[in-house]
Chain A
């Protein structure tokens, strides 16, 4: 962890501790601390004139990307099926469900793995755990989540990874309900596309 992170952490604590008398229990402590973190980051970005563009969060008007490549649909002028799938999605939702179950099994496996002697543990981990499809899917998903534009990434992370309700995400990020949904939609649509490509390659 670099000195910058350390400073930021210190600043956050200072803000938390000096502001604790102002905390009136209207929001959860989690939401409240997160709000302080984002405000600190905004102040810092302005002060340092950094290129981080927080307006990106408020204004999801980045180059508009359709949820699905338009070439996969029949043209609107099509006589019988305008706008219908020309190249429908291949079925993989069941495989993704397997990965969800696999993830649960992973947790159990990991706990058992910790109990093995170090030599055995590393061999089992490298040979059996890393090659497991469920692990691979999660890795792909994690990597792609990190590649999303900042606004989409933070909204998808808070909504789908952390499981926050929409209203809380709007609150801490200062987003309108509509903009929050646009960011969520773009982020999820892109991730679905990535998984579709992944399952097509690894079917």
Chain B
């Protein structure tokens, strides 16, 4: 192997840069190494699919940041504020 040949990406490196790959922020040279490795490695293909499946699955979770009780409370304090304004 001559020195100009880019080092082949190993599976262990691939799992470390997979988020950068999915985010589209991996530098071009690394993206090529990633794609080249992926083309020949079924285990890493499955790993990538698992990450994609995970993201889709997580997207199906219901957002909990605004639980009904919180929304009710927000609306209640908004109404109190509004009422205090109209009384003035």
Q: Do A and B bind each other?
A: yes
Residues of A within 8 A of B (CB): 1, 5-6, 9-10, 12-14, 17, 66-68, 70, 73, 76, 81-85, 88-89, 91-93, 96-97, 99-100, 103-104, 137-138, 141-142, 145, 156-157, 160-163, 166, 177, 181, 184-185, 188-189, 191-192, 195-196
Q: How far is the CA of A192 from the CA of B52 in the complex (A)?
A: 10
Q: Is the beta-carbon distance between B43 and A88 smaller than 8 angstroms?
A: yes
Q: Is residue B32 contacting chain A, with contact meaning CB distance below 8 A?
A: no
A163 surroundings in chain B (CB, below 8 A): 59
Q: How far is the CB of A170 from chain B (nearest CB, A)?
A: 12
Q: How far is the CB of B34 from chain A (nearest CB, A)?
A: 14
B74 surroundings in chain A (CB, below 8 A): 9, 12-13
A157 surroundings in chain B (CB, below 8 A): 63, 65
Q: How far is the CB of A99 from chain B (nearest CB, A)?
A: 6
Q: Is the beta-carbon distance between A192 and B63 smaller than 8 angstroms?
A: no
Q: Is the beta-carbon distance between A160 and B58 smaller than 8 angstroms?
A: yes
A84-B11, A181-B20, A185-B19 known; A137 vs B57 contact (CB < 8 Å) = yes
The tally of residues in B whose CB lies under 8 Å from a CB in A reads 39
Q: Is the beta-carbon distance between A66 and B11 smaller than 8 angstroms?
A: no
A10 surroundings in chain B (CB, below 8 A): 77
Residues of B within 8 A of A (CB): 10-13, 15-16, 18-20, 23, 25, 41, 43-44, 46-47, 49-61, 63-65, 69-70, 73-74, 77-78, 81
A10-B77, A89-B43, A156-B58 known; A1 vs B53 contact (CB < 8 Å) = no
Q: Is the beta-carbon distance between A192 and B43 smaller than 8 angstroms?
A: no
Q: Is the beta-carbon distance between B58 and A141 smaller than 8 angstroms?
A: yes
A145 surroundings in chain B (CB, below 8 A): 58, 61
Q: Is the beta-carbon distance between A93 and B69 smaller than 8 angstroms?
A: no
Q: Which residue of A lies closest to B54 (CB)?
A: A192
Q: How far is the CA of A19 from the CA of B64 in the complex (A)?
A: 26
Query: Which residue of A83, A137, A141, A142 contacts B13 across the interface (Cβ within 8 Å)?
Result: A83
A9-B70, A97-B53, A145-B58 known; A162 vs B63 contact (CB < 8 Å) = yes
Q: Is the beta-carbon distance between B46 and A96 smaller than 8 angstroms?
A: no
Q: How far is the CA of A8 from the CA of B74 in the complex (A)?
A: 10
7 additional contacts (CB under 8 A) given A82-B10, A100-B60: A9-B77, A13-B81, A84-B10, A84-B12, A138-B57, A157-B65, A188-B19
B13 surroundings in chain A (CB, below 8 A): 83
Q: How far is the CA of A196 from the CA of B46 in the complex (A)?
A: 11
